[in-house]
Amino acid sequence: MHANQIARGGMMTGVSVALLYIATFLSIASWAACMLIGFIPELFFLTGQKKTGYLVYAATSVLSLFLLPDKVIAVLYAGLFGLYTVLRFLFERIPSRVLRWVCKLIFGNIWVLIVLWCIRTGFLPNFPIQSDFTALIVFIAGNLILIYYDLCLSRIFPGLRGLAQRLQNNSFK
């Protein structure tokens, strides 16, 4: 790993943590901000700098867990949006399209089940679920959101390739 890669990774980690800190004050838009900040490690994956992408994700996750006043935002980035970007990069290397989607759906369903468990036990009191039918709707909606999010990412990431190349070539002037 070169010094310029480390410097770029450090800058993008700082930007990510600062944006996550701002996102803690945005109430409902904080989830959207987490999704967008989850794209930042992908800039390094697109240019073949896998180690830097992993380190940006890991450093942003750890720093946000320590520094952010709203730990829900930090957990959303560290455990869902940032992690999904990293795992998606690994899943895309699987040759079978069906196996790729199985892995993605397993990850998504684990998160939906964790959210349903948190709602049922009272960790998320803002989302009361009274019946099993409502839980089923949340489960189905979570899967649909995951599929839509992945399809959007498959369109967004190739568009980010030019930005990632400019970042690597120092052509931000």
Structural domain includes residue 98: yes
- 122: in domain: yes
* Backbone conformation region of residue 115, classed left if phi is above 0, alpha if psi is from -120 to 50, else beta: alpha
Residue of 27, 19, 103, 22 whose CA lies nearest to 60: 19
SS (H, E, C) the chain: CCHHHHHHHHHHHHHHHHHHHHHCCCCCHHHHHHHHHCCHHHHHHHCCCHHHHHHHHHHHHHHHHHHCCCHHHHHHHHHHHHHHHHHHHHHCCCCCHHHHHHHHHHHHHHHHHHHHHHHHHCCCCCCCCCCHHHHHHHHHHHHHHHHHHHHHHHHHHHHHHHHHHHHHCCCCC
Host domain of residue 139 = 3-168
Q: How many domains is the chain partitioned into structurally?
A: 1
Mean pLDDT throughout 34-53? 85
Q: Specify whether the CB–CB gap between 129 and 137 falls below 8 A.
A: no
> pTM for this structure?
0.79
Among 44, 39, 49, smallest CA distance to 82 is for 39
Contact assessment for residue 76 and residue 26, using Cβ atoms and an 8 Å cutoff: no
Whether residue 173 is contained in a domain is answered as no
Average pLDDT over residues 6-35: 86
How many whole angstroms separate alpha carbon 41 and alpha carbon 110?
Answer: 22
Residue 14 binned pLDDT confidence (cut-offs 50, 70, 90): very high
pLDDT tens for 118-158 read: 777 776 666 666 677 777 887 888 888 888 878 877 777 77
Please answer whether residues 30 and 24 qualify as being in contact, where contact means their C-beta atoms are separated by less than 8 angstroms.
Answer: yes
